[in-house]
A and B are shown apart, each in its own frame.
Chain A
């Protein structure tokens, strides 16, 4: 991981307007989620690494040794990275199905797109408490669905199932409570309408590099 270094940390702008995912994810939720929750993770993460040797490392490197680092790095570094990926894999005019090599990989690993969706829905529904559902590329190049608690993710050395995340769904209650309240499954169904499959495909290609 010597090639993975960085020189600056920035809080990313949302790649679309707050209302761009309406009616599936409401503008108020997006705005609070980005400007309050995500922002707080970024600020606390940066405060935790500023002036330390971690400041010059990339996230992947930090996550690979997160069990040896302060809890603030794990929780806030996870919160920073996970939300950044989450924004990226959604978008207006999303939905539909993946194409090309990603579609083939999904068929190969899960049998069909529908079977993959069912697995992902279950991972999102069954994560008790706060957490995330993931589609990851494992070390052997196969795809897998997993979920993590709180702000953990599959890049972390503490993750039960490890891999490179290419699709993420936030199932903390803050991600859906204003619109869906206790009805998490409705939020999970709505999510498929805003998945940006070309962004997921880019991540997929990046994983195999």
Chain B
């Protein structure tokens, strides 16, 4: 409650009245800010939330596969910085009225600061969504069928995804995507690039992703990225992946 109340010589507001005024001002500010942020099409991301998206579960929900401290720093520092820097970079520019997909589709035309932070924002948003507590196991239904059709078996798919995640040198992401012909493919991208970007070597709509920047695993796994990749399968939320698969087919 840092809002100063202007001193008024005629009325002596008591404490509870002061608090009410503060709450009303805070409410108006919040409503105004939310309104302003909602108008930014750029924030329409996989989670469908247009403001800084809440983590869909507690920081400790993915223990022991991904530790609470990592989740906390990853969400509240790294992800938040991408969000803030993206807002700063697009606010007041024509880019704020574009959807994030439109920006990715013409990524070579935007400043590199927009590219990096839009990627960082979108990629992490999807990453949080495709993980969850009480997860892991195998996919079912149509996405399972599509995996079998494109990769032969779930094990073949998993091995190819593991190789993409382990083989990405430096910082980046591994992806399961739906290509234009509706088949599935695995790919990886450097830094905060993603397969929606017009510059991507392999393009498609992401339905599963894994962050292989060292910040995603270093506190718990240090140099052992392979162990982190193995642990990831315990927290994949296949229902969410199925939802993104259905959306991608539309």
Contact of B214 among A40, A128, A130, A151 (CB under 8 A): A130
Which residues 173-228 in B have Cβ within 8 Å of A in the complex? 190-192, 213-215, 218-219, 222-223
Across the interface, do B219 and A177 meet the contact criterion of CB distance under 8 Å?
yes
Across the interface, do B169 and A32 meet the contact criterion of CB distance under 8 Å?
no
Across the interface, do A173 and B223 meet the contact criterion of CB distance under 8 Å?
no
Q: Within the complex, what minimum Cβ distance (angstroms) separates B83 from chain A? A: 14
With A182-B73, A182-B77, A182-B78 known as contacts, the answer to whether A177 contacts B223 (CB < 8 A) is: no
Write out the residue numbers on chain A whose beta carbons fall within 8 Å of the beta carbon of B112. 128
Contact of B223 among A40, A75, A149 (CB under 8 A): A40
Write out the residue numbers on chain B whose beta carbons fall within 8 Å of the beta carbon of A129. 170-172, 190-192, 213
Across the interface, do B81 and A36 meet the contact criterion of CB distance under 8 Å?
no
With A32-B223, A128-B191, A182-B77 known as contacts, the answer to whether A177 contacts B170 (CB < 8 A) is: no
> Is A64's CB within 8 Å of the partner chain B?
no
With A75-B169, A129-B171, A174-B223 known as contacts, the answer to whether A182 contacts B81 (CB < 8 A) is: yes
> Is B116's CB within 8 Å of the partner chain A?
yes
Q: How far is the CA of A96 from the CA of B169 in the complex (A)?
A: 35
Can you name the residue of chain B whose Cβ is closest to the Cβ of A37? B223
Q: How far is the CA of A163 from the CA of B222 in the complex (A)?
A: 32
With A37-B223, A177-B219 known as contacts, the answer to whether A172 contacts B214 (CB < 8 A) is: yes
> Is A150's CB within 8 Å of the partner chain B?
yes
- Interface residue tally of chain A, by bracket? 10 to 19
Question: Can you list, as one digit per residue, whether each of B80-117 has a CB less than 8 Å from chain A (1) or not (0)?
Answer: 01000000000000000000000000000000100010
Q: How far is the CA of A40 from the CA of B218 in the complex (A)?
A: 16
Write out the residue numbers on chain A whose beta carbons fall within 8 Å of the beta carbon of B222. 32, 36, 174, 178
Q: How far is the CA of A55 from the CA of B172 in the complex (A)?
A: 31
Write out the residue numbers on chain B whose beta carbons fall within 8 Å of the beta carbon of A37. 223
Across the interface, do A173 and B218 meet the contact criterion of CB distance under 8 Å?
yes
Across the interface, do B191 and A173 meet the contact criterion of CB distance under 8 Å?
no
Q: How far is the CA of A40 from the CA of B222 in the complex (A)?
A: 13
Which residues 122-165 in B have Cβ within 8 Å of A in the complex? none
Across the interface, do A181 and B214 meet the contact criterion of CB distance under 8 Å?
no
Across the interface, do A150 and B170 meet the contact criterion of CB distance under 8 Å?
yes
Q: Within the complex, what minimum Cβ distance (angstroms) separates A56 from chain B? A: 26
Can you name the residue of chain B whose Cβ is closest to the Cβ of A150? B170
Write out the residue numbers on chain A whose beta carbons fall within 8 Å of the beta carbon of B73. 181-182
Write out the residue numbers on chain B whose beta carbons fall within 8 Å of the beta carbon of A151. 169-170
Can you name the residue of chain B whose Cβ is closest to the Cβ of A131? B170
Can you name the residue of chain A whose Cβ is closest to the Cβ of B214? A173
Can you name the residue of chain A whose Cβ is closest to the Cβ of B77? A182
Q: Within the complex, what minimum Cβ distance (angstroms) separates B193 from chain A? A: 10
Q: How far is the CA of A132 from the CA of B212 in the complex (A)?
A: 19
With A32-B223, A128-B191 known as contacts, the answer to whether A174 contacts B214 (CB < 8 A) is: yes
With A128-B116, A128-B191 known as contacts, the answer to whether A178 contacts B170 (CB < 8 A) is: no
Question: Can you list, as one digit per residue, whether each of A8-41 has a CB less than 8 Å from chain B (1) or not (0)?
Answer: 0000000000000000000000001000110010
Contacts A129-B171, A174-B218, A177-B215 supplied; 10 other A-B pairs, CB < 8 Å: A128-B191, A129-B192, A151-B170, A173-B213, A173-B214, A173-B218, A181-B73, A181-B219, A182-B81, A182-B215
In the assembled complex, 17 residue pairs joining A and B whose CB atoms fall closer than 8 Å, in A order, are A36-B222, A37-B223, A129-B170, A129-B192, A129-B213, A131-B170, A149-B170, A150-B169, A173-B213, A173-B218, A174-B223, A177-B214, A181-B73, A181-B219, A182-B73, A182-B77, A182-B215
